[in-house]
Amino acid sequence: MQKRIVIIGGGFAGINLALELGKKKHYQVTLVDKNNYNFFPPLIYQVATAFLEPSSISYPIRKLFRNKSNLHFRLGELLKVIPESRQLVLSNGTIEYDELVFATGAETNYFGMENVKKNAIPMKTLSDAIQMRNKLLTHFEEATITKDRAEIAKNLTIVIAGGGPTGVEISGMFAEMRQNIMHKDYPELKNTGAQIYLVDGGAALLKPMSTKSQVNTYESLTKLGVKILLNSHVNDFIDDKVILSDGTEIVTKNLIWAAGVSAISFDGIPATSYGRGKRLIADGFHKVQGLENIYAIGDTVSQSGDPGYPEGHPQVAQVAIQQGRNLAANFTRIAEQKVPHSFIYKDRGSMAIIGSNKAVVDLPKPRIHLNGFIAWLAWLFIHLMSLISYRNRFRTFYNWTVAYFSKDQSLRMIIRPVDTHDEPAP
């Protein structure tokens, strides 16, 4: 009998673990996710700003698992873990496991601010991106039918909370939309005074990157017209006002939240297995502290054993990918009665795109900083090749090519799902 490995989560970590195990036949693998697709989080902001369609960065999990007899998919949401009997309670039934792997990623962290949670636009999932696109385009349309300049500015002003890569990239995207697209699609809104604000509590943007990257980014966004507010963070968002920690108030309907994430905790896992930010504590072999036959990889884990990262690894895609592949190799080695390998992260560098022909790249070995056109090309190539299928790469490359040469895109449509409760009776 093959052992049963159940993976919770179909993101970078879970998919790479499953696909690597699919190359071997030592285990029967079931991947559980509440969505039936894998998607590429670094590009969801381009879906949110209507520069890419959702299918450009997503792919059905069942199609990925075709022709791999030991890989299975289960649509469902994890509700509870019962370690004693090695059972999982899902939203649609139960499932048993021999080995359990958490690859659940992270969720948006609002730091206890209920008004922000209720009114801000998150930037974590594909659903968030579609919601953001619909909401912003609706506000733009509302701005065209009022003569009140204050109301127009409220609909068009955008505040982005968080000066990491997501915040920087979406700020640059909106700034270029304002320059190249708004006056074409919305001629009624010329010279209306709409502003783009990027707010961060630190002293610099892109905190983990080099000083050169931080300075280049600040200067480039400022030239694009983005108002950058550092050493300040959002305290509240109520009555169409973003209230900052220094007392500043920005009148807007649009607060985009890219300021923080936390891992997800689950019923049945003891509190002693969690660390800071709800991240599971694991050893160098990905095994969760205090539990048998349970592992964790990706954003959901704070892993020890790597001398270069004594406080745990950064919550970025490359860590998740490498951890997934290392755990797959370890499961194979265990099945073949070989010694597993402790995980050591190989830093591939950091990068962020600012706009057309503008990006910053930091490479660790040798320490190299790139900016401008060559960094922009590097960003495009790395992100294109990181997409999971050739179809995704082709669609994304096509959309990027059209947008680059036309400085425009044709995907700005408000498409809302029908609320079945509002449908008339047959």
Per the CB < 8 A criterion, the answer to whether 188 and 144 are in contact is yes
Per the CB < 8 A criterion, the answer to whether 243 and 237 are in contact is yes
Task: Look up residue 205 and give its two tokens.
Answer: 């943007």
Rounded distance between C-alpha atoms, residue 49 and residue 127, angstroms? 13
Assess whether 327 and 399 both reside in one domain: no
Instruction: Look at residue 183 and tell me whether its pLDDT is greater than 80.
Output: yes
pLDDT (0 to 100) of residue 407: 78
Rounded distance between C-alpha atoms, residue 368 and residue 382, angstroms? 16
* DSSP SS3 for 240: coil
Domain tally, the chain: 2
Assess whether 9 and 88 both reside in one domain: yes
Domain boundary among 285, 305, 335: 335
Q: What is the CATH number of the domain that holds 320?
A: 3.50.50.60
pLDDT (0 to 100) of residue 418: 61
Instruction: Look at residue 426 and tell me whether its pLDDT is greater than 50.
Output: no
Assess whether 125 and 220 both reside in one domain: yes
| Rg of the chain, C-alpha, whole Å | 23
State pTM to two decimals.
0.91
Per the CB < 8 A criterion, the answer to whether 51 and 397 are in contact is no
Share of the chain above pLDDT 70, in %: 97
Task: Give how far Cα 197 sits from Cα of 157, 252, 397, Å.
Answer: 8, 10, 29
Confidence of residue 424 (pLDDT cuts 50, 70, 90): very low
What is the per-residue burial (b if ≥16 Cβ within 10 Å, else e) of 216-235? Answer: bbbebbeebebebbeeebbb
Assess whether 135 and 238 both reside in one domain: yes
Assess whether 243 and 224 both reside in one domain: yes
Q: Is residue 418 part of a domain?
A: no
Q: Which long-range contacts link 280-285 to residues 24+ away (Cβ below 8 Å)?
A: 280/102, 284/342, 284/343, 285/330, 285/340, 285/341, 285/342, 285/343
Residues 210, 212, 216, CA angle at the centre, nearest 5°? 120
pLDDT (0 to 100) of residue 142: 95
Share of the chain above pLDDT 90, in %: 81
Q: How many CB atoms lie within 10 A of CB 281?
A: 18
Digit-coded pLDDT (tens) for 38-83: 999 999 999 998 888 999 999 999 999 999 999 999 999 999 999 9
Domain boundary among 306, 335, 364: 335
**Distance, CA of 25 to chain centre:** 32
Rounded distance between C-alpha atoms, residue 346 and residue 282, angstroms? 18
Assess whether 308 and 385 both reside in one domain: no
Assess whether 251 and 354 both reside in one domain: yes
Digit-coded pLDDT (tens) for 20-44: 999 988 999 999 999 999 999 999 9
Assess whether 327 and 359 both reside in one domain: no
pLDDT (0 to 100) of residue 399: 87
Q: Is residue 417 part of a domain?
A: no
Digit-coded pLDDT (tens) for 337-393: 999 999 999 999 999 999 999 999 999 877 899 999 999 999 999 999 989 888 999
Segment 264-275 mean pLDDT: 96
* 54 Rama sector, left if φ>0, alpha if ψ -120 to 50, beta otherwise: alpha
Which domain covers residue 179, as residue numbers? 114-259+349-406
Assess whether 215 and 154 both reside in one domain: yes
Supply φ then ψ for residue 252, to 5 degrees: -165, 155
Assess whether 58 and 123 both reside in one domain: no
Instruction: Look at residue 419 and tell me whether its pLDDT is greater than 60.
Output: no
Assess whether 30 and 145 both reside in one domain: no
**Distance, CA of 98 to chain centre:** 30
Q: What is the CATH number of the domain that holds 184?
A: 3.50.50.100
Q: Is residue 340 part of a domain?
A: no
Strand partners, 97: none
Q: Is residue 425 part of a domain?
A: no
Residues 304, 307, 310, CA angle at the centre, nearest 5°? 50
pLDDT (0 to 100) of residue 13: 97
Digit-coded pLDDT (tens) for 189-230: 887 778 999 999 999 999 989 999 999 999 999 999 999 999
Instruction: Look at residue 420 and tell me whether its pLDDT is greater than 50.
Output: no
Q: Is residue 178 part of a domain?
A: yes
Rounded distance between C-alpha atoms, residue 86 and residue 71, angstroms? 19
Assess whether 152 and 250 both reside in one domain: yes
Q: Is residue 421 part of a domain?
A: no
Segment 301-305 mean pLDDT: 95
Digit-coded pLDDT (tens) for 312-332: 999 999 999 999 999 999 999
Beta strand ranges found along 109-229 (DSSP E): 121-122, 158-161, 196-199, 227-229
On average, the pLDDT of the chain sits at 92
Instruction: Look at residue 279 and tell me whether its pLDDT is greater than 50.
Output: yes
Q: Is residue 342 part of a domain?
A: no
Q: Is residue 424 part of a domain?
A: no
Residues 6+ apart with CB under 8 A from 243: 234, 235, 236, 237, 249
